[in-house]
Amino acid sequence: MKIAKVERQVLNALLDKDLMGSYQIQGFVSFTLAIILLFLGKLIIGRFELLKRYSVPEPVIGGFLCASAVGLSYYLFSFELSFDLRSRDILLLYFFAAIGLQTDIRTLVTGGRPLAILLALATIFIILQNLVGIGVAGLFGMHPKAGLLVGSISLIGGVGTALAWSPTFVEAFDISNALEIGVAANTVGLISACLIGGPIARFLILRHKIKTNQSDELDIGVAHNKEHQTKVDSYALLWAWLWLNVAIILGYLLDQLLQSVDFQLPMFVSCLMAGILIGNCRNLILKREEAYPGAKLGIALFSDISLGMFLTMALMGLQIWELQGLVAFISSVMFCQILISVMFTLFIVYRLMGADYEATVISAGFGGITLGSTATAIVNMSAVAKQYGAAHRAFIVVPLVCGFFIDIVNALIIRFFVGL
């Protein structure tokens, strides 16, 4: 009896049960599981050269394995399991604060033209993506406006945008399962975006014999061939952690200031801007290297861990059973969306972004912009950079486009299509 009581206490400490009978793994345990899954992904990629060759990100392996296991438990045993992932959001703030702290304003200035070109290309693609969605929805006998839910609403905008727009589609167009369609498309898009970036980069590098950059330090993490040579002491890490926290605090204050004048931005964009401001002011005032020489590497490692953990947790949280009942439609439309994303990237984005190594890394991230999320874009680029070398301009241009400008453009285009 005592053993049974102890077992129940242990289960209650790990799991929460809601009124619907589903279970949720508590936050600290979910976070710990994400660490294990990230290690598992790294272990598997280390064992299979093919995965490393095509720059498949470590978080994708562990996160997707977890989502698959949870999905199987639902289908085989009707056991619904979810995770408390509230700690995930702070990881994204750390990541973007780190990107900002490492951004040299001079590189940002030179990135003005590529930024404008990438934003124009993303805008064109949003329109194309919505037209494809509307077309496929019509072929399936659905309301044409349902195609927007498998277009830029869920793929560019993400789950948050799908949640925001679904009541409009239910009320105005009588699409009762609007939210389910949007979430299902986002699920398939997120997984696909994680898998196409590396192969696109490898294809471009081999096809065009592109000269890579193995000399510079990476913006995120360290290169595969230097992992065992990395040396950073505890105070260098602490110094990096201090500046990251200062950037997040300033980012929060900036976010509150913008909200006070009714200007809404994602919190991570405010942290990115705060990081850029702090990093460049600090360098200008001090006019010397960091107090601790390993601090720059410390920031790169923090950003790598934060991004890896964020994407692992994002994939852990996918509920694959939400695809049921929509398999034929979602499969067809997402096949088309993935195909046009790959073709647009290979034949247009790569060429117009300069047809060089920077353009290759941006191309690896473009699938994340068009099918997944900002984090997906960056994790694809990071995996390519670890394999082939640094691409500093790419890590400035892409976060600014998909973290800030594209949200504004997408909102305007969605309103236009909904109003037709």
Position 325 pLDDT exceeds 90: no
Enter the tokens of residue 95: 């990541």
| Residue-level pLDDT at 395 | 82
Looking at the predicted structure, is the pLDDT value of residue 228 above 50?
no
State whether 361 and 408 are in the same domain.
yes
| Lowest mean pLDDT across 75-79, 149-153, 228-232, 263-267 | 228-232
Classify the phi-psi angles of 82: left when phi > 0, otherwise alpha if psi is within -120 to 50, otherwise beta: beta
User: What is the rounded average pLDDT of the residues 283-302?
Assistant: 67
> In which domain, by residue range, is 42 found?
2-83
pLDDT at 124 > cutoff 90: yes
> 290 in the Ramachandran plot: left (φ > 0), alpha (ψ -120 to 50) or beta?
beta
Same domain, 76 and 133: no
> What is the DSSP track for 202-270?
HHHHHHTT---B-SSPPSSS--GGGGGG----HHHHHHHHHHHHHHHHHHHHHHHHHHHTT----HHHH
Report the pLDDT value the prediction gives residue 301, as an integer from 0 to 100: 83
* Residue 137 C-alpha from the chain's centroid: 27
Residue 37 token pair = 């899954």
Q: Rg of the chain's alpha carbons, rounded to an integer?
A: 22
Q: What torsion do the CA atoms of 372, 376, 378, 381 make, to the nearest 10 degrees?
A: -100
The rounded mean pLDDT for the chain is: 82
Domain count, the chain: 2
Q: Residue 297: what residue type?
A: L
- Closest-CA residue to 98 (of 258, 300, 254): 300
pLDDT (mean) for 301-305 = 84
pLDDT score, position 8:
57
Residues 314 and 385 grouped into a single domain? yes
Last residue of a domain, one of 35, 68, 83: 83
**Predicted pLDDT at 219:** 52
- Looking at the fold, whether 245 and 288 belong to one and the same domain comes out as yes
State whether 268 and 209 are in the same domain: yes
Whole-angstrom distance, CA of residue 270 vs CA of residue 97:
9
Has residue 154 got a pLDDT over 70? yes
Q: Is it the case that residue 230 has pLDDT exceeding 60?
A: no
**Spatial contact of 62 and 45, defined as CB atoms under 8 Å apart:** no
pLDDT band at 118 (very low <50, low <70, confident <90, very high): very high
* Structure token pair of residue 351: 């060429």
Give the end of a domain, one of 52, 68, 83.
83
Q: Which of 47, 38, 85, 104 is nearest to 65 (CA)?
A: 38
Q: What pLDDT is recorded for position 18?
A: 58
User: Can you tell me the distance from the alpha carbon of 152 to that of 162, in angstroms, rounded to the nearest whole number?
Assistant: 9
Q: pLDDT value at position 31?
A: 93
The angle at the Cα of 268, spanning 90 to 56, to the nearest 5 degrees, equals: 75
Q: For 5-19, 55-69, 199-213, which range has the lowest pLDDT when averaged over its residues?
A: 5-19
Whether the CB-CB separation of 85 and 316 falls below 8 Å is answered with: yes
One domain, residues 94 and 43: no
Give the mean pLDDT of 302-309.
86
Q: Are residues 228 and 301 in the same domain?
A: yes
Residue with the bigger pLDDT between 225 and 213: it is 213
Same domain, 289 and 360: yes
Looking at 18, 53, 83, which one is the last position of a domain?
A: 83
Can you tell me which residue has the tokens 């594209």? Answer: 406
Question: Token digits for 255?
Answer: 């976010």
Residue 13's pLDDT is 53
Kindly report, residue by residue over 237-278, the tens digit of the pLDDT. 888 889 899 999 999 999 899 888 877 677 877 888 888 888
pLDDT of residue 347 exceeding 90, the answer is yes
| Whether the predicted pLDDT of 420 surpasses 90 | no
Higher pLDDT, 54 or 144: 144
Q: Which tops the pLDDT comparison, 125 or 258? A: 125
pLDDT beyond 70 at 318: yes
Q: Do residue 161 and residue 248 come from a single domain?
A: yes
Joined tokens for residue 324: 């049921």
146 and 62 both lie in a single domain: no
Q: pLDDT (tens digit, 9 = 90+) per residue, 25-46?
A: 888 899 999 999 999 988 998 8
Nearest in space to 310 (alpha carbons), one of 37, 15, 23 = 37
- Chain centroid to Cα 324, Å, comes to 25
Tell me which range, 36-50, 104-118, 306-320, 398-412, is most confidently predicted by mean pLDDT.
Answer: 36-50
Pick the more confident residue, 163 or 279. 279
Are 93 and 146 part of one and the same domain?
yes
What predicted TM-score, i.e. pTM, was given to this entire model?
A: 0.76
Specify whether 325 is located in the same domain as 405: yes
Contacts of 18 (CB under 8 A, 6+ apart): 24
Q: Which tops the pLDDT comparison, 57 or 198? A: 198
Q: Give me the percent of the chain exceeding a pLDDT of 70.
A: 84
Q: What pLDDT, in 10s, does the model give residues 167-220?
A: 888 888 888 888 888 888 888 888 888 888 889 999 999 998 888 776 656 555
For the purposes of burial, counting CB atoms within 10 Å of the CB of 209, is it exposed (0-12), middle (13-18) or buried (19 or more)?
Answer: exposed
pLDDT of 221 reads 47
pLDDT value of position 167: 84
Longest dimension (CA), the chain: 71
